[in-house]
Amino acid sequence: MDYLMVLAGLVLLIFGGEGLVRGSVAVARKLNISELVIGLTLVGCGTSMPELVTSLRAINTGAVGIAIGNVVGSNIANILLVLGAAALLRPILTNPRALKRDVLVVIGATAILCGLIYFDAFTRLSGFLLLGALILYIALSLIADQKGGTPEGKLHAHEAEIVTAEYGILKGLLFAAVGLAGIIFGARFMVDGAVGIARDIGVSEAVIGMSIVAVGTSLPELATSLVAARSGKSDVALGNIIGSNIFNILGILGVTALIHPFSVMQNHTGDISGEAMQSAGQSIVTSTDIGALVLSLFFLLLFGITGKRIARWEGALLLAGYLLYMGLLFNIIPVPAILPHV
């Protein structure tokens, strides 16, 4: 039954995310909102909506491992799995100038995430600061891109252009509403089923969050990236992944911590308030997870930013890296702890 719930959740998250993005984009176009604004906000935020709702559902049911695992695992899957699959389908041409700003932001956001995990600092204040940083990033990006016609702005506009959504306002609103409902129910099924699977097979909720749940919530990014690669706008695939990873850290963890502060320490018990958490026990985010997160970002920079394209063999290498991470995650391949605290 748990597996059927997860499957149902996956289906609802996929179609719900697609409906939400298409519906909201259609309404925005009818209201004459620019493709730049649509690409930077609606497309970027919309494809990450499954992660947001899933993390909120998980944290509200006490499944902290799934909530944090969903974000960390999704960021790893976006680079190693999604980008790897897109490059394997069609080599991805890159424009380092167009990605420069967003790359710097995702590096900073990842560093902040690692610090929050290490110090177990997912407080209400942290959530407020993360969310504020996301709003500031979007606002400054819009101002810079609209004034100067920057390469980054053209890239975000292209992200919107690949979304087919020629509906009227009422039909667009209906698509968006049905899509949001699908995401909400899909997240419920996904989290409840994932918790049951974790208990049945005797693994931690964090492991399930970083594998099954993370892959499921990353499917909208996979669909967008594959469409971009097939349509010849392969740089959009890379931009979409970077933007999604930024939103996952600053937006999803920001909203989650702001609404319901949490601790990543296994021995933490009791009611969680906005005050500083007590560090005790071992973190549910291991050194293996942190290593995979950092290394995936390193390979993103190595393949996608320093060169002019991500070749098929590089995509295959990224996919192999994801398989290796899954092997380490499920203890198929043993690995010693590198960072004792985490």
Q: What is the pLDDT of residues 44-82, one digit of tens each?
A: 777 788 888 999 999 998 899 999 999 999 999 999 998
Tell me how far apart the alpha carbons of residues 164 and 168 are, in angstroms, rounded to a whole number: 13
Arithmetic mean of pLDDT, 184-203: 87
Point out the least confidently predicted range of 16-25, 99-108, 263-272, 278-287.
Answer: 263-272
Q: Which helix (H) or strand (E) holds 309?
A: strand 309-310
CA distances from 184 to 10, 12, 16, 178, 218 (A): 11, 9, 8, 10, 16
* DSSP secondary structure code for residue 279 in this structure: P
Tell me how far apart the alpha carbons of residues 98 and 15 are, in angstroms, rounded to a whole number: 30
pLDDT digits (tens, 9 = 90+) for 160-177: 666 666 777 888 889 888
Residue ranges of the domains in the chain?
2-261+276-329
pLDDT of residue 336: 55
CA-nearest of 21, 63, 42, 53 to 284 is 63
The CATH number of 2-261+276-329 is 1.20.1420.30
Give buried/exposed letters for 213-241 (b at 16+ CB in 10 A, else e): bbbbbbbbbbbbbbbbbeeebbbbbbbbb
Residue 230 has pLDDT above 60, yes or no: yes
Tell me how far apart the alpha carbons of residues 88 and 319 are, in angstroms, rounded to a whole number: 9
CB 83 within 8 A of CB 237: yes
Arithmetic mean of pLDDT, 306-334: 88
pLDDT digits (tens, 9 = 90+) for 97-127: 767 788 899 999 999 999 999 999 999 999 9
Residue 283: what are its φ and ψ, rounded to 5°? -70, 145
